[in-house]
Structure 1
Amino acid sequence: MYLKKLISLILFFSVTGIFAQVDSLKEAQKVEVRYNRDELRKELDKIFSDPSFNNSFWGVMVKSLKTGETIYRRNSEKLLHPASNIKLFTTAAAFDILGKDFKYETILLANGRIEKGVLLGDLILKGSGDPTFTNKFCGGDAKKLFELWADTLIAKGVWAIEGNIIGDDRQFDNNRYGKGWNNELNSQWFSAPAGAISFNENIVEIKVTPTKRNFPADITISPNTSYVIINPKVVTVDKETYTDIKITRDYNSNVISISGRIKENSNIYIDYVSIDDPTTFTMTVLKEVFENKGIRISGGAISINNYSKRIQEENLFPLYKHTSINLTSIINEINKNSNNFFAEQLLRTIGLEIYNLGSAENGIKALRELLDEANISPDDLVMVDGSGISLFNLVSPKQIVALLSYMYNYGNFKDFKASLPISGIDGTLADRMSNTIAEGKVFAKSGYNTHASSLSGYIRTEMGELLAFSILLNNYLVPTSLANYIQDNACIKMVNYKRN
């Protein structure tokens, strides 16, 4: 009993100390003091020497884009896990290699002649990796896009398909996940599989609604599709009991188990789960939409990898071509909202553009030329995915600042900078540095992974000077909120930088 009380007291005072430091940072943010270079260095040294991070490792670099001088450095050449800051490399390369006006094309092809409203053969969907078949980019309902396709076929006089609906996903390889990804997390929405054909970011939405006490809860999925099998085991409990729901999907399976309890009269519980096999998932939903629109289909919804017959490419003819939004809008989604799925799709698209096969390896290989141009040795860093999920990624603050400097001097800086979250305004920084002097002056990509936090981008000082900076933190054990406050306070100091 004494030991339990002692542990409780230690935890209480530790947490109390942390929040006291956070409060002091909030107060510091209200003070506007101009710092010359030496004063700024002292302030930043003080911030990054916070005792709460004695067991952690900070890597920092700040550079003036006006003069090229290094204003501050701390372990700037050490390789650290950058978390989602790896997206800076993915999106910079996309602007550089694909161009801001690049668009994906997805084509519906007929494998047979059309007679009296009947396609005498298969309908083939040829994908190129378009990640935008989502609710956000399809008017709030991703199925609306497939309904448009159905209407187009009907307008062309096609009312029946005497064959299969086949997804041709051969533009990408079959490695759906990044190197070093944790298999235990593959059912999570943030690590959904990549694919040349995808729908709804390859996730489904699960809604659990309470009913009467001791009765099963109502469970719905969206999109509502037969591709996913639900194993529901959630019961409604009395108001005094807390809600506790567990949702899992077995590896290489689309059986989703939902178990636990939900409190009577409580709000609807919402969660998201990734699916397995994006191509078959997409084709199943497409077939269901077509049939609901009145198009009769005699065959099944399958991936081309499961199709036994050989398809003669020269015999195919297009029925419809869908063109995506432009690359700039896609990159905005990646950087503003740290969209892992979009980033993985984009990395593979870069590989497809340069080496005719979309794979993470080809995408990273294509990045090497950009790294050389940015004076970053490709052999001096480790990049294995496009999103930063993998803990195998290793990058230094100096390398990130070199990339940011390259984009400023030679890249599509206007659109690249505009894609980054803005402090206190939007994206992942919407709630950070608000109501401080730094609000609206920090344009940076945040990142988070297991015991890793990062923030890198550009800062416009009060004197109008533009800085490139990178702050990487590894091996911390305190709440992430405190890491954010340390980063934010450092940014506020940088905003107040003035030249001697």
Structure 2
Amino acid sequence: MTMHLPKRISTLLFAPALASCAAAAASTPPPAPAPAPVPARTGFAAALDSIFGDTTFAGANWGVVVKSLETGATLYERNGGKMFVPASNMKLVTGSTALETLGPDFRYRTVVAATGPVANGELRGDLVVVGSGDPTIAADFHGGDARAVFRAWADSLRAHGVRRITGRVIGDDDVFDDVPYGRGWAWDDMNDDYSAEIGGLEFNLGVAGVTVARGAAPGTAPVVTLDPATAYIPATVAARTAAPGAMEQIEVTRQDTGPGIVISGEIPADTPAVRTLVAIRNNTAYFSTVLRETLIASGIAVGGAAVDQDELAPAMRPSSRQTLFTQTSPPLSEILHGFLKPSQNQIGELLLKTEGRVLRGQGTASAGIAAVDSATRAWGLPPRRLAQADGSGLSRYNLVAPWFLIGILEHMRRSPNFQTFYDALPVAGVDGTLAGRMKGTPLQGNVHAKTGTVSNVRSLSGYMTTAAGEPMVFSMIVNHHTVTSRDADRLAEAALLRLYNLPRTR
């Protein structure tokens, strides 16, 4: 209970005590003042406030955290606990959890099997390929040659005495579910290579190269070639060669249904060729068809068609099969380079479903997200600072707080797998999505960070070292900007230059 005394009585009661305190004050030095803020740190925060307060971004929201890895001090924070659409900074979450839970030596294994015996040079039955979600059967992992693995398989089949396959080439993608896209992916991105389908049998990361070369003269049709060349993708050419000096307007789109594509627009007569990538429908059928074509080109006859097992009636599916050989992927430590440096979306989705299959027994995105949640909780990261929808960051349903990404980066800095993770990140002015940025500045070769871009979103999170030798970690995300991504980059890089020149914080 609190007793309230009349003012005059309380003054009389406490007057001796007040007098005693006054006497003590006269003989005791005053307490030392609280330490003043470090001027350099205070100036740094003011400088970053000025940078991120740029009026060009008055209608946008910045989330920024900068922290010393040496002292643990937070040097700057702006909306660090708020949730932002991270774009490809989500790959930091997928990549780190995959590396920590699956391990750097994890490898995908694709099984090549037969449904019948091999006798007198014939495989008397079907050739069945059982997928594991391997993203490396692709040009990106074989010096630009998408068919390299399939030609090696032809050699292996010959080594097993196979000169002819009497049956079909069947693709089995059941290691994962049949959902080909991430949750919340935009329908109007589906032609583009970065929105290609994902599945248990992934060939060339779900894309084909399309080269459109000018025709012999204005008014003639251009010449279209595919890489890899395949009958699986019929091409309708509705384009023309235009007069020299005209604007190049070639567009490659998928047909409304099926695997076909349409080439439309104009290519000027003085433009030798235009090359682009297009996403292909039904990866498993694409995989099986190009494999069959490669086997035939390598001298192995194939009597049956190339098919996706899911398109066969149950009675038409193989009831038994015997493994001939197994294709083993490069280790995850190498796959991460092909994931993080170029910001490859399909690998992000395959890794997420792989985490779900290996750790939760289900090859689904939701199982993968549950595995990510368990891992990051074990690292001590707050669950309500991450809302994950996919593995790549293409979905706008993803939300994350800069502080969560800082937690990911700090955890990885302490991990035995740190060097693998660090080496897989883009390096400013050197490689990956940062190859063209920060060149000729002290940040070149110094900043190792993950970029991120979708419409009205730009992000950059990673590591750097100051001129004084202090290691730093940072996360910078802007949402709802209506200017160019380069404008956002300008602010982020200005902040990093300020950080580079910051005196040691201890």
* TM > 0.5: yes
The answer to whether the Cα contact below 8 Å between 1:441 and 1:495 also exists between their aligned partners in 2 is no
The equivalent residue for 2:420 is: 415
Match of 2:311 among 297, 306, 309: 306
Name the CA distance, whole Å, in 1 between partners of 2:416 and 2:328: 25
Corresponding residue number in structure 2 for 1:447:
452
Matching residue within 149, 161, 168 for 1:164: 168
Other-structure match for 2:357: 352
1:404 to 406, 409, 421: 409
Q: Is the 8 A contact 2:239 2:266 kept in 1?
A: yes
- Tell me the alpha carbon deviations over residues 49-73 of structure 1, each in whole angstroms, 9 at most, x when there is no partner: 1111001110001111112221110
2:66 corresponds to which residue? 62
Q: Is the 8 A contact 1:160 1:295 kept in 2?
A: yes
Q: Distance in 1 between matches of 2:442 and 2:227?
A: 43
SS in 2 for 1:482: helix
Unaligned stretches of 5+ in structure 1? 1-33
Q: The residue matched to 1:136 in structure 2 has which SS?
A: helix
What residue is the counterpart of 1:378 in the other structure?
383
The farther-off stretch of 373-382 and 187-196 is 373-382
1:194 equivalent in alignment to 2:198: yes
Q: Distance in 1 between matches of 2:444 and 2:276?
A: 32
Q: Is the 8 A contact 1:186 1:192 kept in 2?
A: yes
Query: Is 2:64–2:402's contact at 8 Å kept on the other side of the alignment?
Result: yes
User: Which of residues 339, 346, 349 in structure 2 aligns to 1:341?
Assistant: 346
Q: Which amino acid aligns with 2:195?
A: S
Q: Does 1:486 align with 2:474?
A: no
Find the partner of 1:121 among 125, 144, 164.
125
Shift of 1:265: 2.3
1:263 aligns with 2:268: yes
Q: How does 1:450-489 map to 2 (within 5 A)?
A: 450-489=455-494
Q: Please report how far the alpha carbon of residue 171 of structure 1 lies from its aligned counterpart in structure 2 after TM superposition.
A: 0.3
How do residues 69-468 of structure 1 correspond to structure 2 at under 5 angstroms? 69-211=73-215, 212-308=217-313, 309=315, 315-410=320-415, 412-468=417-473
Alignment partner, residue 30 of structure 1 = none
**Letter in structure 2 aligned against 1:50:** D
Q: Is the deviation greater in 372-381 or in 346-355?
A: 372-381
Deviation at 1:252, TM superposition (A): 4.5
Shift of 1:310: 6.7
Q: Distance in 2 between matches of 1:310 and 1:273?
A: 32
Structure 1 residues 292 and 35, CA gap change in structure 2 (3 angstroms): farther
Q: Secondary structure at the match of 1:221?
A: strand
Which stretch shows the higher mean deviation, 45-54 or 459-468? 459-468
Contact 1:283 / 1:301 at 8 angstroms: preserved in 2? yes
Matches within 5 A, 1:22-61: 36-61=40-65
Do 2:210 and 2:226's aligned partners in 1 also have CA atoms closer than 8 Å? yes
Q: 3-state DSSP class of the match of 2:158?
A: helix
Contact 1:422 1:443 in 2 (8 A): yes
Unaligned runs of 5+ in 2: 1-37
Q: Which amino acid aligns with 1:192?
A: A
Aligned equivalents of 1:166, 1:409: Cα separation in 2: 45
Query: Which position in structure 2 is the counterpart of 1:10?
Result: none
Once the 2 structures are TM-superposed, how far is the Cα of residue 284 of structure 1 from its aligned partner? 0.3
For residues 75-122 of structure 1, the C-alpha deviation after alignment (integer angstroms, 9 at most, x for no partner) is: 111100000000000000011111001111111011111121111111
Equivalent-residue separation in structure 2 for 1:402 and 1:346 (angstroms): 21
The whole-number CA distance in structure 2 between the counterparts of 1:273 and 1:209 is 16
In structure 2, give the amino acid aligned to 1:53. Answer: F
Conserved 8 A contact 1:96-1:411: no
Distance 1:39 1:112 in 2: 75
Structure possessing the higher radius of gyration over alpha carbons = 2
Q: What code does the residue aligned with 1:481 have? A: R
Query: Are the counterparts in 2 of residues 171 and 356 from structure 1 also a CA contact under 8 Å?
Result: no
* SS of aligned partner of 1:184: helix
CA contact 1:192–1:202 (8 Å) conserved in 2: yes
Between Structure 1 and Structure 2, how many residues are aligned?
Answer: 466
2:394 maps to a residue whose letter is: I
The residue identity in structure 1 corresponding to 2:206 is N
> So what's the TM-score if we normalise by structure 1?
0.90
Provide Cα deviations, 1:383-432, integer angstroms capped at 9, x if missing partner. 11111100110001111101111111245211111111111222111221
TM-score, with length taken from structure 2? 0.89
Q: Give the match's secondary structure for 1:407.
A: helix
CA contact (8 A) 1:407 1:416 kept: yes
